[in-house]
Amino acid sequence: MTNDLADAQRAHLARLDQAYAALLAEHGYDGVLLYSGRAHRHFADDQHASFATYGHFLHWVPLAGLEHSWLLIRPGQAPCLHFHAPRDFWHLAPQLPEEAWVEAFEVVYQEDGEAPRLPRGHFAVLGEVSEAQAERLGAALNPEALTLALDELRVRKSAYEVACLREANRRALAGHGAARDAFLAGGAELDCQLAYLKAARIRESALPYQSIVGINAHGGVLHYQHYDAEAPRQAHSLLVDGGHRYRGYCADITRSWAGPAASDDYRALLAGMDRLQRQLVGELAPGIGYVSMQERMHRGLAELLVAHGLVKASAEAAFETGITRAFCPHGLGHLLGLQVHDVGGRQDAQGRPLPPPPAHPALRLTRPLEAGMAITVEPGLYVIPMLLEPLRQGATAGMLDWARVEALGDHGGIRIEDNVVITGTGNDNLTRDLEASP
Site for Mn ion, rule CB under 5 A: 241, 252, 254, 376, 417
* Interface with ligand GLY, residue 189, by CB under 6 A: no
Q: How far is the CB of 331 from ligand GLY (least distance, A)?
A: 8
Report the residue number, 13 or 239, with the smaller CB distance to ligand GLY.
Answer: 239
Q: Which does 51 bind (CB under 5 to 8 A by kind): Mn ion, ligand GLY, none?
A: none
Residue 167 contacts which entry, ligand GLY, Mn ion, none (Cβ below 5-8 A, type-dependent): none
What does residue 192 show for φ and ψ, rounded to 5 degrees?
-65, -45
Are the CB atoms for 369 and 287 separated by under 8 Å?
yes
Q: Which is nearer to Mn ion, 254 or 396 (CB)?
A: 254
Q: Is 342 in the site for ligand GLY (CB under 6 A)?
A: no
What residues have CB less than 8 Å from 85, skipping those under 6 apart?
Answer: 93, 94, 95, 109, 110, 111
Q: According to CB under 6 A, which one of 167, 241, 303, 410 is a site residue for ligand GLY?
A: 241
State in angstroms the smallest separation of the CB of 52 from ligand GLY.
Answer: 14
Q: Show contacts with ligand GLY in window 383-422 (CB under 6 A).
A: 417
Q: Total binding residues for ligand GLY by CB under 6 A?
A: 7
- Pick from 422, 364, 365, 362: nearest CA to 165: 422
- Kindly tell me which residue out of 151, 378, 410, 418 binds ligand GLY, with binding defined by CB under 6 A: 378
Are 321 and 298 in contact by the 8 Å Cβ rule? The answer is no
Nearer to ligand GLY, 228 or 342 (CB): 342
- Residue 161 interacts with, from ligand GLY, Mn ion, none (CB under 5-8 Å by kind): none
Interactions with ligand GLY, residue window 96-115 (CB under 6 A): none
Residue length of the chain: 438
- Contact status, residue 240 vs residue 187, Cβ threshold 8 Å: no
CA distances from 407 to 109, 213, 222 (A): 61, 21, 19
∠110-111-116 over CA atoms, to 5°?
45
Q: Minimum distance between the CB of residue 258 and ligand GLY, rounded to whole angstroms?
A: 21
Name the residue nearer to ligand GLY (CB basis): 53 or 254.
Answer: 254
Site for ligand GLY in 297-336 (CB under 6 A): 334
- Smallest distance from the beta carbon of 191 to Mn ion, in angstroms? 21
Closest CB 340 distance from ligand GLY, rounded Å: 6
Distance of closest approach, residue 203 Cβ to ligand GLY, in angstroms: 18
The binder of 209, among Mn ion, ligand GLY, none, by C-beta within 5 to 8 A per type, is ligand GLY
Question: Least distance in Å: CB of 330 to Mn ion?
Answer: 9
* Residue 419 contact, options Mn ion, ligand GLY, none, Cβ 5-8 Å cut-off depending on partner type: none
Sign of the torsion angle spanned by Cα atoms 153, 63, 143, 347? positive
For 91-200, list the strands marked E by DSSP: 106-110, 123-126, 140-141
**In the bound complex, which residue of the shown chain has the CB atom lying closest to ligand GLY?**
241
Q: Which does 17 bind (CB under 5 to 8 A by kind): ligand GLY, Mn ion, none?
A: none
Identify which of residues 51 and 209 has a Cβ nearer to ligand GLY in the complex.
209
Which helix (H) or strand (E) segment holds residue 84: the answer is strand 80-84
When asked if residue 252 is in the footprint of ligand GLY (CB under 6 A), the reply is: yes
Q: Using CA atoms, how far apart are residues 333 and 422, in angstroms rounded to an integer?
A: 13
User: Cα–Cα distance between 114 and 38 in angstroms, integer?
Assistant: 12
Closest CA to 166 of 251, 256, 93, 91: 251
Cβ proximity to ligand GLY: between 105 and 209 the closer is 209
For residue 385, give every residue at least 6 positions away whose Cβ sits within 8 Å of its Cβ, in sequence order, or none.
409
Sheet holding 80-84, edge to edge: 106-110, 80-84, 70-73, 31-35, 123-126, 140-141
Q: Which residues bind ligand GLY (CB under 6 A)?
A: 209, 241, 252, 334, 340, 378, 417
